């Protein structure tokens, strides 16, 4: 790979074992995946698929083997796993997280949302770009999360929410230097000027995050670049102008990272571990009074709630937004542009209520279900009908994880898997 000369000259001054760093660009990147313990435990997944090397700083994450399961496989469709760059898994796992309401401000396609969702009570997962937000929404649905709302807003729009978030993750748009080995487009687009413009944008995003963060709350900042201006430079500038303190990362992560200016601001390098370039730091807003958003619920639609209870056995709120009915992800009513306010339960077609795929993905384990082997699951995600004795709505599962919905008549299972998701 031919790297920009200006980039090489900058890296000479900051990268340890520089020759090894350059040689790493001739090596194949590592792949890894997180087991979605919302659907299957890590132990059960490994028992199902065979032993994998654990990512050392993330207990439910593993390095992928050469022919590892890909997107067309039923296990992926069922939301059992999420593939992610290994070093990116460090960001959320570097800190002990205890938050009721969290925001992933620049979330698409959703890797760090997947990491956060099982560590916080409620999560707003946002991306500014509609097409990317739709991808984010699709991944959240596939994973079956019930506590994640997906939004599509400019970071500055969160300022109007008030200081409500306990934790904000800013995985900031960057020059992508750490991804050069995986993305030659990033190499072609790189310039010093672009890197500096990224730093200005990143700082502006942090300003918006500050206005949405409660006193005593934490911002986790990360990039996939090596640029000092975009990393340490952004954090140091912010600390000079705001009353925050750096947070010490866990020892489980410092053993696999290095630093330049401060031991609490950590870097991954591709020649020092299995992964690409990554920077992260956490900063805490000094203690003081906090502003909490008042809980506000839309009145539950009891007919849909009754349908959901009959299907799942669970008593869940179901609220109406336009023509759609949702099981809310959180009790907070925020003035934001939502792609999804929670689990879409379904909608009416005429006078008939039709359940949504998200309902089956999130709550299929509570429904009557038909257990599929891999061959039957492949047929299902192709859109084929299956044989089965089930009557009425239910879920089909593989490996204990819900794959989607069906409607049975006692002999045939009508396939309800969305056409847009079929292989």
Lowest mean pLDDT among 45-59, 354-368, 404-418: 45-59
Mean pLDDT of 121-127: 98
Task: Reply yes or no on whether the pLDDT at 294 is more than 90.
Answer: no
pLDDT at 290: 54
Residues 155, 213: contact at Cβ < 8 Å? Answer: no
Task: Reply yes or no on whether the pLDDT at 396 is more than 90.
Answer: yes
Q: What angle do CA 234, 267, 38 make, to 5 degrees?
A: 100
Confidence of residue 291 (pLDDT cuts 50, 70, 90): low
Active-site residue 224, yes or no? yes
- 5-30+85-285: CATH class: alpha beta
Mean pLDDT of 205-220: 97
Confidence of residue 292 (pLDDT cuts 50, 70, 90): low
Task: Reply yes or no on whether the pLDDT at 264 is more than 70.
Answer: yes
- Domain ranges within the chain, ordered by starting residue: 5-30+85-285, 294-348, 367-423
Mean pLDDT of 102-116: 97
Indicate the average pLDDT of the chain. Answer: 93
Task: Reply yes or no on whether the pLDDT at 172 is more than 80.
Answer: yes
Task: Reply yes or no on whether the pLDDT at 235 is more than 80.
Answer: yes
Mean pLDDT of 123-149: 98
Q: How many Cα atoms within 13 Å fall on the side-chain side of residue 125?
A: 36
Lowest mean pLDDT among 51-60, 64-73, 259-268: 64-73
Strand partners for 240: none
Tokens 């000092």 locate to 228
Q: Which residues, other chains included, contact 258 with Cβ-Cβ below 8 Å and sequence gap of 6+? A: 16, 266, 267, 269, 272
Mean pLDDT of 227-249: 97
pLDDT at 183: 85
Confidence of residue 323 (pLDDT cuts 50, 70, 90): confident
Q: Which residues, other chains included, contact 335 with Cβ-Cβ below 8 Å and sequence gap of 6+? A: 160, 161
Confidence of residue 108 (pLDDT cuts 50, 70, 90): very high
Cis before 109 (ω within 30): yes
367-423: CATH topology is 2.30.130
pLDDT at 177: 95
Mean pLDDT of 350-374: 96
pLDDT at 182: 87
At 241, list the tokens: 């102008």
Give the integer Cα–Cα distance in Å for 101 and 267.
27
Tokens 């039957």 locate to 376
Q: How would you classify the pairing of strands 278-285 and 213-223?
A: antiparallel
Residues 347, 356: contact at Cβ < 8 Å? Answer: yes
Catalytic pick from 61, 152, 174, 224?
A: 224
Task: Reply yes or no on whether the pLDDT at 413 is more than 80.
Answer: yes
* Whole-number CA gyration radius for the chain: 23
Helix (H) or strand (E) holding 292: none
Task: Reply yes or no on whether the pLDDT at 297 is more than 60.
Answer: no
Mean pLDDT of 251-280: 94
pLDDT at 127: 98
């Amino acid at each position: 790979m031919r790297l920009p000369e200006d980039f090489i000259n900058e890296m000479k001054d900051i990268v340890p074992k520089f020759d090894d760093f350059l040689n790493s660009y001739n090596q194949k990147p590592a792949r890894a995946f997180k087991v979605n313990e919302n659907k299957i435990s890590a132990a059960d997944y490994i028992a199902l698929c065979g032993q994998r090397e654990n990512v050392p700083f993330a207990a439910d994450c593993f390095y992928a083997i050469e022919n590892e399961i890909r997107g067309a496989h039923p296990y992926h469709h069922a939301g059992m796993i999420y593939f992610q760059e290994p070093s990116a898994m460090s960001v959320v796992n570097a800190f002990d997280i205890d938050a009721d309401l969290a925001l992933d401000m620049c979330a698409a396609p959703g890797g760090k949302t997947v990491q956060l969702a099982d560590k916080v009570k409620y999560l707003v997962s946002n991306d500014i770009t509609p097409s990317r937000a739709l991808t984010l929404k699709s991944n959240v649905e596939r994973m079956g999360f019930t506590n994640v709302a997906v939004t599509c807003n400019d970071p500055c729009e969160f300022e109007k929410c008030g200081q409500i978030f306990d934790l904000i993750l800013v995985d900031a748009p960057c020059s992508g230097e750490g991804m050069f080995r995986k993305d030659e487009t990033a190499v072609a687009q790189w310039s010093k000027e672009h890197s500096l413009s990224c730093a200005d944008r990143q700082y502006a995003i942090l300003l918006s995050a500050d206005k949405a963060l409660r006193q005593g709350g934490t911002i986790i900042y990360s990039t996939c670049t090596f640029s000092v201006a975009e990393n340490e430079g952004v954090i140091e500038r912010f600390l000079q102008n705001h009353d925050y303190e750096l947070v010490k990362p866990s020892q489980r992560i410092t053993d696999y990272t290095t630093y330049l200016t401060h031991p609490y601001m950590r870097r991954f390098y591709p020649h020092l571990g299995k992964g690409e370039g990554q920077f992260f730091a956490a900063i805490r807003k000094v203690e003081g009074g906090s502003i909490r958003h008042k809980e506000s619920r839309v009145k539950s639609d009891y007919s849909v709630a009754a349908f959901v209870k009959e299907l799942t056995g669970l008593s869940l709120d179901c609220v109406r937004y336009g023509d759609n009915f949702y099981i809310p992800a959180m009790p907070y009513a925020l003035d934001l542009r939502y792609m999804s306010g929670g689990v879409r339960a379904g909608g009416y077609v005429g006078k008939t209520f039709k359940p949504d795929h998200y309902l089956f993905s999130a709550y299929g384990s509570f429904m009557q279900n038909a257990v599929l082997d891999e061959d039957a699951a492949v047929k299902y995600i192709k859109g084929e009908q299956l044989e089965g004795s089930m009557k009425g709505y239910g879920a089909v599962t593989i490996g204990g994880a819900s794959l989607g919905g069906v409607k049975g008549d006692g002999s045939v299972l009508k396939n309800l898997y969305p056409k847009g998701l079929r292989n």
